[in-house]
């Protein structure tokens, strides 16, 4: 979403999903890491070269994916779901490596904090995809 582009780290190439084409990417890609799913994933899969891989990490743009199976077979792209919840032990060392950078401020993660009295607003921001970063619920405070 355009409103979230200012929050994309400088090291990442900020580009709207709607602007993704072979021309803007300089050709088909070897690997796609998709964090939003839905129709955006369906479109993005066409940008992966044959025998390339696509990793799906999330589904904020939709929980359903409809594919023409003949086109999917011909594209010859591996679609890999990545369930970070079940990979906790695998990623724990990397998380621990990043903690000093988070503590020092060298690495920042955007988040929005809400008191329990604003739970409805927090859920709505998650549901509509307008939240920037993660949502934190502060159990001890009320208000934003």
Domains and CATH numbers, the chain: 13-81 (3.40.50.720), 99-138 (no CATH)
The 10s digit of each residue's pLDDT in 65-123 is 999 999 999 999 999 998 877 877 888 888 888 889 888 988 888 889 999 999 999 99
Phi and psi based region of residue 88 (left: phi greater than 0; alpha: psi -120 to 50; beta: remaining): alpha
For a pLDDT cut of 90, what percent of the chain falls above it? Answer: 32
Amino acid 129: pLDDT = 81
Asked whether 113 and 144 are in contact (CB, 8 A), the reply is yes
94-103's contacts with Cβ under 8 Å and 24+ in sequence apart are none
Q: What is the pTM of this model?
A: 0.60
Ranges of H-type helices in the chain? 22-25, 38-45, 69-75, 88-104, 119-128
What is the band of 30 on the pLDDT scale with cuts at 50, 70, 90? very high
CA 61, CA 51: separation in Å to the nearest integer? Answer: 25
């Amino acid at each position: 979403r355009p409103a979230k582009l200012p929050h994309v780290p400088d090291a990442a190439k900020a580009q709207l999903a709607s602007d993704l084409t072979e021309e803007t990417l300089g050709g088909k890609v070897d690997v796609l890491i998709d964090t939003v799913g839905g129709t955006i994933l369906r479109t993005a899969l066409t940008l992966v070269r044959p025998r390339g891989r696509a990793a799906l990490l999330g589904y904020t743009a939709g929980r359903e994916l409809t594919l023409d199976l003949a086109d999917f077979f011909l594209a010859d792209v591996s679609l890999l779901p990545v369930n970070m919840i079940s990979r906790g032990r695998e990623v724990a060392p990397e998380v621990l490596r990043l903690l000093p950078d988070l503590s020092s401020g060298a690495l920042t993660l955007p988040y929005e904090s809400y008191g329990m009295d604003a739970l409805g607003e927090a859920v709505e921001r998650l549901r509509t995809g307008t939240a920037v970063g993660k949502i934190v619920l502060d159990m001890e405070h009320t208000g934003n």
